[in-house]
A and B are shown apart, each in its own frame.
Chain A
Amino acid sequence: MEVKITTNTEILTTDGIPLRVSLKKTERKNKLRAFLLVFPLLLFILITFVVPIGDMLMRSVDDSHINTVFPKTFEEYEKWDGQDLPPEEVYRAIFDELATGEGIQVGKALTRMNYSKSGWKSLIKKTRRQIKKIVKSGELPVSYKDTLIEIHKGWGDPTFWIAMNQMINETTSIYYWNAMDRTFDIDGSVVKQNEERRIYVRTWWRTLEVSIYVTFFCLILGFPVAHLLANLPLRYSNLLMIFVLLPFWTSLLVRTTAWIVMLQQNGVINGILVWLGIINDDQRIQMVYNMTGTIIAMTQILLPFMILPLYSVMKVIPKSHMRAAQNLGAKPARAFYKVYLPQTIPGISAGGLLVFVLAIGYYITPALVGGKDGQLIGHWIAYHLKTTLNWGLCSALGSILLVLMLVLYWLYNKIVGIDNIKLG
C-alpha cells in the first residue's frame, strides 16, 4: 500500500519565501562562490596551457597557409580534369601569383610543397627569378604554359601537377604519415619512405624500449629499497628517505651532469675499475653518449618516482601477514610470493606506470648523455621545432606522444586515481 504525504502549505522561511526555493538559492550562491575562487587559475591555465596545446593539435593537420599563397592557382587547378597537363589558365594563375607573391610567404609554401614532392622548391625558385625578369621587361608572354616549360622543363612534368592535388584541402594528414615513416605517393596513396629516411618508427620503438628498460630497472632497484624503508623503525627510515628525496629535489641538469662525470671514459667509474685492476687503462668502457648512458642516468633520475608509491603501499601492509603465512608452514619465499607480493601490486602498477609515462616524454637527459643511438622521440620534436622548422611534423609527433600519454594516464587513473599523486 502506498502512503502519500501531501502538505497543502509549503514550509516557509521567516521572509515568507518557500524553504525549497531559499535553499536552492543558497546552494547556487555557494556553488558560484566556490567556482569564483577557482576561476582565475582555470582561466589562466586555459589561456597559457590548454589553448596552446590545442593550437599544436590543430597545427598538426593544418594546411591552410599554402591556400593563401596560391588561391587563384588552386581555383583554376580544380577545374582541370587531370588529363595530360593543366590548361593555360592554371599556368597563368601560378605565373601571376609567383610574380606578385611576398617572398617569405612563397618560401614557406615552397617548403610545404617539397614535403609532398621533392623538386618543387628548386623548380619554383629557378622559375621565380625568370618570372621577375619577364615582368620587369614588361613583355608579358603570349602562352604562359609554353613560357614556363621553356624556363624549366619541370613544368611539363605532370607528376608535379598531380602532387599538387594533395595541397588543395586546408587539412592534411601528411605529417602524421611522415611521423610513421610513410608518405604520399604522387597519386595520393600511402607508401613507405625511402630506406634512408625511415627514422621515426625506429625512434618510437627505441623510446618504448628505453622506457621499458628504465621501468624494469627502477622496479628491480626500487622494490627492495621501498621494502626496507617501510619496515625499518621510523627514525632510521626518515634518515634513509633523504637519500631518495634529495635526488628528487635536485635539478635534472645537475644529476645529468653528474652522470657524465661518473660515466665518461676518464670518469669516476672507469677510474675505479682501472684502479682495482679489473680493466686496463686502454680498455676504458664507453658508458656515456650512447644508449647505456641514457638508461643508467634515467633509471637513477626516475627511481624516486618508483620508490615513493611503493613505499606508501608497503607502509600499510601489516607485518603480521608474513609471520602468519610462515606460521602456517609456508617457506619465506612462498610466503613472500603468495602473501606479500599480491598486496604490493597497486604500488608496483602505480610506480611502474608513473616511471614509464615520465620516461616516454624525456628529452633533456637523452639529449645530453644519449649521443647518437640514445635519442628518444623528444629529440625529433625539438629538432623539428628549432632546426628544420617543420612545425607540422613537430606537432604531429607531439600529438601522437600526447595521445599515448593520455591513454596511459587514463589507465593510471583507473588503477590508482590521479588524486593519489603525492609529493615527497
Chain B
Amino acid sequence: MALPSYTTSGQRLFYYFYLFFCGTVFFFLIAPLVAIIPISFSVSPFMIFTEGMLTFPPDPEAWSLRWYRYMVGICTDKSLTTPCGNKWMYATVNSFFVGLTSTFIATSLGTLAALGLSRPHMPYKGLIMSILISPMIVPLIITAAGMFFFYARFNLVYTFTGIIMAHVALATPFVVITVTATLVGFDTNMTKASQSLGAKPIRTFFKVIMPLILPGVISGALFAFITSFDEVVIVMFMASLDQLTIPKQMWAGIRQEISPVILCMATCLVVLSILLLSTVEILRRRAERLRGIKAR
C-alpha cells in the first residue's frame, strides 16, 4: 500500500494518521495480554510493575518465580501469608478432564450431525441447524439459569456429569459449523467410488471421508476444547468446590485475593491459546492449499 507519487501533502498526512490509528488499535488489542506476562514474574504481592522491574539494568531482586511455585503447590515460601495449597493444580486437572471429555463427546456428535446436515436429502435443514447452533447464540447467563433450574430436578447440579453435559451442548455448535464448512467442498463421488469398489459404509467413513475432513474436525475439536476450558458462567453456578476448574478458581481469585498467581495462570493460558491458534491457522492454510490444488 505504498502511496502513489501524486498524493498531496494533506493526503500524505491523513495516510500516516490512519496508519498510526491502526497501530494504536493493534496495541489496544494486544497490550493487556502482553502486560500481564512480566508482572507474573514479579516479587511483589500486588499486580503492578514495581520500581525494580522498570530500572535498567534489570534488578534481579525484583524478579522471581515465587508465584509460579505457589501456583504449582510448592509451599516452601514462608513469607507468603495467603493460604497455599494445591488448589490451582487441582483446578487444572479438573479443567483438562472436563475439557477433554466434553471435546470428545462434542466432536463425535457434532461430526456425525454435520455429515447428516451436508447430505442433499436432509429434511428441515434450516430448522434443525438453527436448533443445533442455538447454544452459541443464547447468552450464557440465560443458559446457565435455565440449566441450573432444570438440572437441579435430576440432581445433576454440582456433579461432573451435569457440567460435562452443559459444556458439550455449548461446544457442539462450533464443531457443527467448522465441519459443515469443510464438507462444502467435499466431493461426494469419492464415497460412491469407494462403495462401488466394495467398501462397507463404516470402512468408507474411516478410510475415505475421515482423512479428507480431518482438518475441519480437528479445528472444531480445538474450538470445542477452548469453549469448555474457558467456560466460567456455567461452572460458577453448577460446580461445587469438588468440580473446581481453572476459570472458577480464577474468578474466585480476582474477587478475593488479587495476587500475581492469577497472572501466572493467565500467562499459561495465553501460551495455550497461542498454541491452539497456531494449530488452527496451520490447518486452515493446509485446507486452503489443498483446495487450491483441486481447483486447478
Contacts and interface: CB of A to CB of B under 8 A. Distances in A.
A357 B262 CA distance: 30
A37 B112 contact: yes
B84 interface: no
Interface string A224-266: 1100100110000000101111110111111111111110101
A225 B28 CA distance: 12
B120 to A, nearest CB: 8
B43 interface: no
Given A35-B122, A37-B113, A225-B26, A258 B36 contact: yes
Nearest to A384: B145
A36 B116 contact: yes
Contacts of B142: 53, 56, 361, 381, 398, 401-402
A45 B134 contact: yes
Contacts, number: 267
Contact of B269 (A30, A250, A268, A362): A250
Interface size range on A against B: 35 or more
Interface in A352-403: 357-358, 360-364, 368, 378, 381-382, 385-386, 391, 394-395, 398, 401-402
B32 A259 contact: yes
A221 interface: yes
A363 B233 contact: yes
Contact of A398 (B119, B141, B273, B281): B141
Contacts of A254: 33, 36, 250, 266, 269-270
B177 interface: yes
B35 A258 contact: yes
Given A31-B121, A35-B116, A254-B270, A271 B49 contact: yes
B121 A27 contact: yes
B31 A51 contact: no
Interface in A179-216: none
A53 B137 CA distance: 13
- Is the contact region of chain B dominated by helix, strand, or loop, or is it mixed? helix
Given A52-B147, A250-B270, A254-B266, A45 B132 contact: yes
A142 interface: no
Contacts of A221: 25, 28
A261 B39 contact: yes
B146 interface: yes
Given A49-B134, A251-B273, A268 B112 contact: no
Counting chain B residues whose Cβ lies within 8 A of the other chain, the interface size class is 35 or more
A268 B110 CA distance: 43
Contacts of A395: 145, 149
Given A257-B250, A378-B139, 7 more contacts: A225-B25, A247-B29, A250-B270, A253-B266, A300-B32, A303-B29, A424-B277
The 4 closest A-B CB pairs, nearest first, are: A361-B139, A37-B116, A258-B32, A52-B150
Interface of B: 1, 11, 18-19, 21-22, 25-26, 28-33, 35-36, 39, 46-49, 109-110, 112-113, 115-117, 119, 121-123, 128-135, 137-151, 165-166, 168-169, 172, 174, 176-178, 181, 219, 223, 226, 229-230, 232-233, 236-237, 247, 250-251, 254-255, 258, 262-263, 266, 269-270, 273-274, 276-277, 280-281, 284
23 contacts: A31-B121, A38-B128, A40-B113, A41-B110, A42-B131, A45-B134, A48-B165, A50-B131, A246-B30, A250-B269, A251-B273, A255-B32, A260-B258, A267-B48, A358-B139, A361-B140, A363-B141, A381-B141, A385-B145, A398-B142, A409-B137, A419-B129, A423-B174
